[in-house]
């Protein structure tokens, strides 16, 4: 299994590789393991969806990449960003950089940018959107204000804001939710980043607007060629734009596969549960199947599988005693569940 990964790395380096990322939060008398050994890679120009319930650590995972975690968090692991434009960044672990230092600031907003869930609060109500777009253009692209304004106007046009000359001087409260998210996208993409992290970009929007925003992100990806890490709890969003999906549960990635495989051949009981709890249009009679129980708090966890208490396929004596290893089901499909452990052994024996 390890060999296979090594082989893959040697052929072509992925744009972003995250190895054994751990985020822990020191509580009064316990340690909360919010992210517990997450590894994944994103290829240049591709989209990875990170899906999971609230509190599973997906947001902290995405913020770790830009070293934006709150100071209460202790973040360890390795995050390598292989910019094709900046060779100096090769082999540099982002987590080793000073989170307020110059180096990381030259990556933020320029090589990697981010859009957030709530476009109203993510923009400052006190400055015009023009001011807020120009901010990172002036920081990373040009010192010339006129030129920066031209770039900003072009970005606004690109994200579908008409009458951009006038809208440039408007304040965020004068925009609707969908328009604000378009502004956020314009800000994020203003410096042609190689990676865009979208943290629940459509959660706060109406369904019709959601589709528009996703469509916009997709077309901009085709045009600008950036990779996207899409964090969401919405499998519908995943289906729409992702190439690959990583399902997170309780700080761990429990299943990782190309998007069509996740939907057609889900392996992990949790992934199956997620898909079953999704409404399907046109099959009105079918009842939704919720996953029973709630996500436990990741404090003082024993070795057992985090999903054990809610799992319908649990094997007593195995799932609750041993740490669950990652099993490779096929070359690009891995799952963290004992149900498939034997399967692998069978294959190896055969």
Partner 1 sequence: MLKYIIKRFLLVIPVILFVSVIVFFVIQLPPGDYVTHYAAQMAAQGEKMTAQEITEMRQNLNLDRHWFIQYLLWMRDIIFYFDFGHSFNYNEPVTAVIERYMVLTLVVSTITMAFTYLVAIPIGIYSAVKQYSIGDYIASAIGFLGMATPNFLLAIILMYFSYVNFGNPLLGLFSSEYEDAAWSWGKVLDLAKHMIIPVIVIGTASTAGLIRIMRAQMLDEINKPNVVTARAKGLSEQKILYKYPTRAALNPIVSTLGWTISSIFTGSTITAIVLNLPIQGPVMYEALLGQDMYLAGTWLLFMAVLTVLGTLISDILLAWLDPKIRTEIKGG
Among 116, 175, 249, 340, binds partner 1 (CB under 8 A): 116
Verify binding: residue 187, partner 1, rule CB under 8 A. Answer: yes
Question: Which CB, 98 or 345, lies closer to partner 1?
Answer: 98
How near is the Cβ of 229 to partner 1 at its closest, in Å? Answer: 13
Q: 88, 173, 285, 287: which one contacts partner 1 (CB under 8 A)?
A: 173
Q: Are 142 and 131 in contact (CB under 8 A)?
A: no
* Three-class secondary structure of residue 348 per DSSP: helix
CA dist 276 → 168, 216, 266, 270, 338 (Å): 44, 28, 11, 10, 21
- Judged by DSSP in three states, 56 sits in coil
How far apart CA 174 and CA 117 sit, in angstroms, is 18
Q: Which ranges constitute the DSSP H helices of the chain?
A: 2-11, 58-65, 102-107, 119-122, 129-140, 145-158, 164-167, 177-189, 207-224, 235-241, 259-264, 269-276, 341-349
Taking the least distance from each CB to partner 1, the nearer of 92 and 114 is 114
Phi, psi dihedral angles at 246 (to 5 degrees): -120, 125
Assess 279 for contact with partner 1 (CB under 8 A).
no
Identify the residue among 41, 75, 83, 113 touching partner 1 (CB under 8 A).
113
Kindly state the tokens that stand for 160.
Answer: 């579908």
Q: Which is nearer to partner 1, 131 or 276 (CB)?
A: 131
Contact residue for partner 1 among 23, 38, 123, 185 (CB under 8 A): 123
Say which residues have a Cβ less than 8 Å from residue 222's Cβ, sequence separation at least 6.
none
Distance between start and end Cα atoms, the chain: 16
Closest CA to 34 of 6, 13, 64, 12: 64
The distance of closest approach from Cβ of residue 63 to partner 1 in the complex, given in angstroms and rounded to an integer, is 8
**Min dist. Cβ of residue 108 to partner 1 (A):** 4
CB of 176 to partner 1, least distance (A): 14
Note whether 267 binds partner 1 by CB under 8 A: no
Looking at 79-87, 171-179, 269-277, 326-334, which segment touches partner 1 (CB under 8 A)? 171-179
* Residue carrying structure tokens 């981010």: 114
For residue 290, CA distances in Å to 40, 261, 276 come to 28, 21, 7
**Binds partner 1 (CB under 8 A): choice among 19, 43, 78, 135:** 135
Q: How far apart are CA 189 and CA 179, in angstroms?
A: 15
Q: How many residues bind partner 1 (CB under 8 A)?
A: 30
Q: How many other C-beta atoms can be found within 10 angstroms of the C-beta atom of residue 135?
A: 17
Taking CB under 8 A as the criterion, the residue among 43, 78, 86, 118 binding partner 1 is 118
Contacts with partner 1, 307-326, as mask; x by CB under 8 A: --------------------
Q: How far is the CB of 71 from partner 1 (least distance, A)?
A: 10
Residue from 6, 85, 126, 281 that binds partner 1 (CB under 8 A)?
126
Applying CB under 8 A, does 234 fall inside the site for partner 1? no
Beta-bridge partner residues of 244 = 48, 258
Number of H helices, E strands in the chain: 13, 11
Site string for partner 1, 43-72 (x = CB under 8 A): -----------------------x-x----
Q: Is residue 180 at the binding interface for partner 1, with CB under 8 A as the rule?
A: no
Site for partner 1 in 193-222 (CB under 8 A): none
Which listed range, 13-21, 106-114, 240-248, 312-320, lies at the site for partner 1 (CB under 8 A)? 106-114
Q: Give me the residues that bind partner 1 (CB under 8 A), please.
A: 66, 68, 100, 105-110, 113-114, 116, 118, 121-128, 135-136, 139-140, 171, 173-174, 184, 187
């Amino acid at each position: 299994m390890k060999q296979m990964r090594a082989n893959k790395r040697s052929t072509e380096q992925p744009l972003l590789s995250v190895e054994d990322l751990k985020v822990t939060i020191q509580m009064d008398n316990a340690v909360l393991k919010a992210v517990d050994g997450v590894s994944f890679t994103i290829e240049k120009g591709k989209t990875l969806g990170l899906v999971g319930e609230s509190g599973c650590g997906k947001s902290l995972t995405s913020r770790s990449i830009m070293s934006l975690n709150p100071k209460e968090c202790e973040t360890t692991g390795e995050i390598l960003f292989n910019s094709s434009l900046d060779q100096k960044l090769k082999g540099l672990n982002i987590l080793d950089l000073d989170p307020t230092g110059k180096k990381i600031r030259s990556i933020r907003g320029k090589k990697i940018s981010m859009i957030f869930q709530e476009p109203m609060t993510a923009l400052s109500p006190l400055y015009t959107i023009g001011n807020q777009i120009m901010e990172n253009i002036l920081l990373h692209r040009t010192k010339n204000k006129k030129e920066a304004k031209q770039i900003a106007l072009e970005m606004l046009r690109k994200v579908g804001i008409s009458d951009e000359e006038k809208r440039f001087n408007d304040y965020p409260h004068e925009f609707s939710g969908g328009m604000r998210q378009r502004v956020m996208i314009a800000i994020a993409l203003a410096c042609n980043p190689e990676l865009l992290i979208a943290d629940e970009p459509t959660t706060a929007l109406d369904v019709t607007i959601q589709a528009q925003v996703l469509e916009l992100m997709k077309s901009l990806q085709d045009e600008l060629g950036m990779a996207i890490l899409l964090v969401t709890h919405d499998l519908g969003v995943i289906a729409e734009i992702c190439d690959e999906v990583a399902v997170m549960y309780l700080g761990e990635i429990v299943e990782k596969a190309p998007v069509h495989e996740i939907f057609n051949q889900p392996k992990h009981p949790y992934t199956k549960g997620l898909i079953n709890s999704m409404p399907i249009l046109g099959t009105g009679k079918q009842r939704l199947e919720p996953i029973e129980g709630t996500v436990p708090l990741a404090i003082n966890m024993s070795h057992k599988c985090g999903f054990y208490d809610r799992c319908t396929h649990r094997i007593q004596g195995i799932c609750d005693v041993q740490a669950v290893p990652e099993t490779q089901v096929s070359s690009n499909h891995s799952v963290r569940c004992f149900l498939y452990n034997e399967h692998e052994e069978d294959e190896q024996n055969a």
